[in-house]
């Protein structure tokens, strides 16, 4: 498994390559003045919307951030205590300074989404000063109780921890050292915010390396290839110490392969004679499947076989394009028995892509699913 990093003048792209096939791509603009995912900002409340249980937060640059009521520290405290979520106006007032983190960056005409539930991702754990709960990676089920006991012993007040897979390979002392590091960093940020006038950027995110590390186990990577030495340095802290490092032109083919993959992204994809049409909008990604003249026996057999091929390509394209949010697929019409088979096949794809949540067929025959957001879609750059 290799990591390919491509740095251009306007953007940075990172891809995972498994068995010589690129499976996932993440991108981010370079020198973008807008708030980036992960930035910690002392914002100013510009508008409270109790009717929508939200508030707009001025971030000092770019569009105001949307803070949903469920993302307030007070709301999280009430939730963990079994209480009712408070009205936003109970917690905030216009002109108030509030320390928030950018959860999702702005896209097109939409401003960023921010949260008061700040998180710090480290090598073995995620530190959450306001979470009020702790959790353990599913891959560490044998150590679950032991790690939760550690959290129960060492977390203070509303602190919470998420133990990453790598937490299963270190001792308690190392976990505690990392917890203390994150706790001290958070305290320093709070102290810094107390001396600044909102809006003010308190801490810039580490960039794409941190974003990717949150959704992909980078410890599995055996080699990293890039056309930029500085980009490699950004990722090295998240990789194994013995990872193989290559800088173009020694591995120019792999870097060029990523660039060509990005440049070749089209709205229509051929799967044999059949076609997929992908249309991304701010609200939803619509995918249409058509036969394109393909034939696999009878009409019903053809529809089913093309749909099966389409599922493989759709799940592949979601990862390549980093598509997230609501996804609606217009499959070729099949009977209820074949619909159940297709649903089962799509459900199996959730294991390959943990960010994917499969729904089902609607009454009108459309298929719905969701994919958790993690950075910008590829369409934001191409």
**Nearest to residue 106, comparing CAs of 36, 39, 53?**
36
Same domain (yes/no): 52, 188? yes
Co-location of 307 and 323 in the same domain: yes
HSE-CB for 87 with a 13 A CA cutoff: 7
Domain boundary among 182, 204, 226: 204
Using the predicted structure, report yes or no on whether residue 307 has a pLDDT greater than 90: yes
198, two tokens: 């909102």
Q: For 8-22, 136-150, 156-170, 199-213, which range has the lowest pLDDT when averaged over its residues?
A: 199-213
Query: What would the two tokens of residue 238 be?
Result: 């998240």
pLDDT of residue 110: 84
What is the spatial distance between Cα 102 and Cα 378, in angstroms, rounded to a whole number? 19
Domain boundary (204, 224, 243) is at: 204
Q: By percentage, how much of the chain surpasses pLDDT 90?
A: 68
Cα-based distances in Å from 247 to 229, 316, 361? 7, 27, 47
Contact of 134 with 155, CB cutoff 8 Å: yes
Mean per-residue pLDDT for 114-135? Answer: 93
Q: How many CB atoms are located within 10 Å of the residue 294 CB?
A: 16
Residue 290 lies in domain: 266-380
The reply to whether 301 falls in a domain is yes
Mean pLDDT of the residues in the chain: 91
In a domain, 210, yes or no: no
Q: Is residue 88 included in any domain, yes or no? A: yes
pLDDT-derived band of residue 58, with 50, 70 and 90 as boundaries? very high
Q: Give the span between the Cα atoms of 71 and 281, in whole angstroms.
A: 25
Tokens of 246: 């290559």
Same domain, 56 and 168: yes
pLDDT of residue 252: 83
The greatest distance separating any two alpha carbons of the chain, rounded to the nearest whole angstrom, comes to 73
CATH number of the domain where residue 342 is located? 3.40.630
Please state the rounded mean pLDDT for residues 267-288.
Answer: 92
- The pLDDT of residue 123 is 80
When divided into structural domains, the chain yields a total of 3
Is 70 exceeded by the pLDDT of residue 31? no
Calculate mean pLDDT across residues 101-123: 89
φ/ψ (deg, to 5) at 146: -65, -45
pLDDT in tens, 86-109: 999 999 999 999 999 999 888 777
Same domain? For 107 and 198 the reply is: yes
Domain assignment of residue 68, yes or no: yes
220 and 288, same domain (yes or no): no
From 229, 262, 295, the end of a domain falls on 262
Strand duo 65-68 + 113-115: pairing: parallel
Residue 216 is predicted with a pLDDT of: 84
Both 333 and 314 in a single domain?
yes
Q: When comparing pLDDT for 81 and 380, which is higher?
A: 81
209: in domain:
no
Which among 169, 175, 186 has a CA at the least distance from the CA of 125?
A: 175
Residue 244 near residue 223, CB atoms below 8 Å: yes
Same domain, 155 and 240: no
Q: Are residues 69 and 135 in the same domain?
A: yes
CA distance 139 to 43: 37
- As a 3-state breakdown, the chain gives helix, strand, coil percent values, each rounded to 5, of 35, 30, 35
Say yes or no: 49 and 133 in one domain: yes
**Are 47 and 147 in a shared domain?**
yes
Q: pTM of the predicted model, to two decimals?
A: 0.66
Task: Check whether the bond before 29 is cis (ω within 30° of 0).
Answer: no
| Residues written for the chain | 382
Rounded Cα gap, residues 95 and 45, in angstroms:
5
Condensed to tens digits (0 to 9), the pLDDT of residues 178-198 reads 999 999 999 999 999 999 999
Q: What is the CATH number of the domain that holds 15?
A: 3.30.420
pLDDT for position 354: 87
Same domain, residue pair 141 and 180: yes
Average pLDDT estimate for 244-249: 84
Residue 62 lies in a domain: yes
Rounded to whole angstroms, the Cα distance separating 102 from 104 reads 6
The pLDDT score that the predictor gives to residue 324 is 92
| 54 sits in which H/E element | strand 54-58
Lay out the sheet containing 274-280: strands in order across: 268-271, 274-280, 285-290, 325-330, 367-371, 356-361
Query: Both 179 and 49 in a single domain?
Result: yes
* CA contacts within 13 A on the Cβ side of 250: 9
- pLDDT level of residue 83 (50, 70, 90 thresholds): very high
Rounded CA separation 347/374 (Å): 21
């Amino acid at each position: 498994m290799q990591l390919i990093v491509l740095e251009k003048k306007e953007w940075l792209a990172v891809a995972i390559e498994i068995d010589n096939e690129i499976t996932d791509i993440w991108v981010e603009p370079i020198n973008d003045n807008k708030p980036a995912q992960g930035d910690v900002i002392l914002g100013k409340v510009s508008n409270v919307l109790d009717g929508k249980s939200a508030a707009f937060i001025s971030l000092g640059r770019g569009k105001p951030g949307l803070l949903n009521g469920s993302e307030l520290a007070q709301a999280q405290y009430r939730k963990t205590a079994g209480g009712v979520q408070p009205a936003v106006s109970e917690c905030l007032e216009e002109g108030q300074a509030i320390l928030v983190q950018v959860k999702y960056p702005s896209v097109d005409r939409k401003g960023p989404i921010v949260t008061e539930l700040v998180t710090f991702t480290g090598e073995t754990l995620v530190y959450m000063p306001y979470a009020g709960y702790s959790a353990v990676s599913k891959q560490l089920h044998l150590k679950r109780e032991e790690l939760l006991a550690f959290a129960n012993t060492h977390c203070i007040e509303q602190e919470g921890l998420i133990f990453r897979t790598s937490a299963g390979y270190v001792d308690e002392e190392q976990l505690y050292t990392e917890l203390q590091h994150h706790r001290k960093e958070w305290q320093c940020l709070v102290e810094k915010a107390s001396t600044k006038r909102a809006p003010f950027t308190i801490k810039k995110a580490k960039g794409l390396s941190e974003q990717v590390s949150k959704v992909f186990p980078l410890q599995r990577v055996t080699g990293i290839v890039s056309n930029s030495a500085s980009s490699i340095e950004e990722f090295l802290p998240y990789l194994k110490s013995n990872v193989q490092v290559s800088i173009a032109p020694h591995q120019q083919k792999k870097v060029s392969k990523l660039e060509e993959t990005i440049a070749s992204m089209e709205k229509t994809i051929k799967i044999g004679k059949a076609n997929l049409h992908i249309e991304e909008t701010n609200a939803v990604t619509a995918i249409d499947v058509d036969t394109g003249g393909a034939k696999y026996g009878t009409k019903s057999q053809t529809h089913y076989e093309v749909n099966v091929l389409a599922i493989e390509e759709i799940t592949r394209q979601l990862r390549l394009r980093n598509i997230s949010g609501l996804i609606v697929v217009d499959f070729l019409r099949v009977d209820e028995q074949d619909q159940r088979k297709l649903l089962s096949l799509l459900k199996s794809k959730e294991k390959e892509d943990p960010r994917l949540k499969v729904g089902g067929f609607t009454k009108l025959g459309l298929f719905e699913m969701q994919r958790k957001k993690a950075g910008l879609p590829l369409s934001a750059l191409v």
